[in-house]
Structure 1
């Protein structure tokens, strides 16, 4: 659950693999900047899945975040809190 003044933050934890992935991450950051603060950040998961589709990426939710992994890498690519 987010506080009313708390907008989702994108934390990129690995460098982009290539230019296409860099563009996807930029698009995600711009989307988050343009989005009103959701009541629950996990509501953003379907949008993230649309930008980072399977089978190349895995997107999931924790108690108050959305995580993003490359399917071939056990380390998180990014997280939205």
Structure 2
């Protein structure tokens, strides 16, 4: 398992993971792309077997981070 910063090529997989969870915030590919472009946004991917299997998204404000989603793909 590898945790790394998200890349543009991850966006489809991130939207799929987010949509797979009924309790998620329902972020779309477009919304993840906007977050990826934001300077104060942190978007991390948990990669398993070369494919995104989870994500963490947060906004960085000063020395703090505000977490807004943590989602994992169904097993």
With the length of structure 1 as denominator, give the TM-score of the two structures.
0.38
With the length of structure 2 as denominator, give the TM-score of the two structures.
0.40
Specify which structure has the higher proportion of helix: 1
Specify which structure has the higher proportion of strand: 2
